[in-house]
Amino acid sequence: MRNNLRYIAGLLTMLLLFNPRPVWAAGPPEPSVFSNPLAVTLLVLMMVLLVIIGILANIMIGAADVKLKKRLAAKNAKPLATLALLLLASTVFGQDTAAAPKAAKTIAGMEASTFYIMVSVLFLELLVIIGMLLNIRFLLKQEKERVAAPITEEEKIVAEQEKANRLSWWDRINKLRPVSQEADLDLGHDYDGIRELNNRLPPWWLYGFYLCIIFAAVYLWRFHVSHTGPSSKEEYETSMAKAEQKVQEYLKKKGEIVDENTVKYMTAAEDLQAGKAIFTDPSKCPACHTPEGGGNAVGPNLTDDYWLYGGSIKDIFKTIKYGTAKGMRSWKDDLSPKQIAQVSSYVKSLRGTKPANAREPQGTLYTEDATAAPADTTAKKAGM
């Protein structure tokens, strides 16, 4: 330890002697890196870590061997002194003010390069200290094993048995038994070399199973015996009712909440124009009723006063929505309720237009006030 202190004192002396100072030839010198408090703090930390490294090196050498101590002292004296000189000399951390750029990047008043170098050195010193501590621990462990008294064969066998019976924390949590006690657990059942042992289930598994039983009993009592909570079916029905309510509210906002019972004749020009666009679509009504609604060999005439399934706006809506039993398909999956109402209104507006080549009347005479007696109810083909 005394040699180590002498080494550190000599190192500090050399740093003070060989640390160059600028000459005041052209006025006061520029502020050096040592005038920065952060730089001074980092330098002090470097010195402290160097002292710690020296002390640990001395301990490590003493723990290893006296000869190794002499050999390492001779080899490492120069490198350590050189490293300290490089770390603390102003020629490394200071730069020529004439050559330095005026807009150099700084960190806390220090040049960025100087700051990063000093931090890197501190990090390197910490790594050296950690490595030396690990080596000291290893050497002490070897020395302890070397000076330990020799044991007999019986003691060696007992130590091996104790090691075999030692359980890890995971084995203790799961209440596992050591390998040496397998003979006591053997049930005598051997299947292709696989023995059956009477091991208990892990406590965490058993407690989890017990909690599941308790939970099942409480659940059964609440939802199926006392009915203090909704059953799965009741929850489903409640959810569906809420969803249907939201759908109706949404449709109401969009004006889509209409059916065969609530539909009314729409006289607005935009609604009739939308219904005409749907009716005259070649993929929809013209195939059976022609674009003008006069009908053909398949579908009836929609411009007269005779109807097969009723001529009111509600009857027309219902016929378009659900179709007929004589060939007309249902359009409820292709058109929205509002679109069906628009088409029904447009069909209603075709009354009395008398297109060319219109088909003869079919069905029952319909009037807005009352339904008259049937005139010619012969229906040749399916349609409206």
Q: How many CB atoms sit inside 10 A of residue 174's CB?
A: 16
Please provide the DSSP assignment of 175-209 as one string. TPPPGGGHHHHEEEEEETTEEEE-PPPPHHHHHHH
Beta bridge partners of 111: 106
The candidate with the shortest Cα–Cα distance to 38, out of 101, 106, 97, 96, is 106
Tokens standing for 157? 């066998």
Residues whose CB is less than 8 angstroms from the CB of residue 29 and which lie 6 or more positions away in sequence, other chains included: 22
Quick one: pLDDT at residue 164?
Answer: 63
DSSP strand E in the chain: where?
106-107, 110-111, 186-191, 194-197, 306-307, 364-365
Quick one: pLDDT at residue 111?
Answer: 79
Quick one: pLDDT at residue 320?
Answer: 93
Distance of CA 231 to the CA centre of its chain: 33
Listed by start position, the domains of the chain span 2-19+32-94+105-145, 202-255, 269-365
Residues whose CB is less than 8 angstroms from the CB of residue 126 and which lie 6 or more positions away in sequence, other chains included: 49
CATH of 269-365, one of 3.40.50.720, 3.30.70.360, 1.10.760.10, 1.10.10.10: 1.10.760.10
197-213 residues labelled b (16+ CB within 10 A) or e (exposed): eeeeeeeeeeeeeeeee
Q: What's the CA gap between 176 and 350, in Å, rounded?
A: 89
Each residue's pLDDT, cut to its tens digit, for the chain (384 residues) gives 455 555 555 555 554 444 444 444 444 555 565 667 777 888 888 888 888 888 888 777 766 654 454 455 555 544 454 445 444 444 444 444 444 444 457 777 777 778 888 888 888 988 988 988 888 888 777 777 666 656 677 767 776 667 666 767 777 777 777 777 777 888 888 888 888 888 888 888 999 999 999 999 999 999 889 988 888 899 999 999 999 999 878 777 766 678 888 898 999 999 999 999 999 998 889 988 999 988 888 889 999 999 989 889 999 999 999 998 888 899 988 998 889 999 999 999 998 888 888 889 888 998 876 444 344 444 333 344
Instruction: Provide the whole-model pTM.
Output: 0.36
Distance of CA 87 to the CA centre of its chain: 47
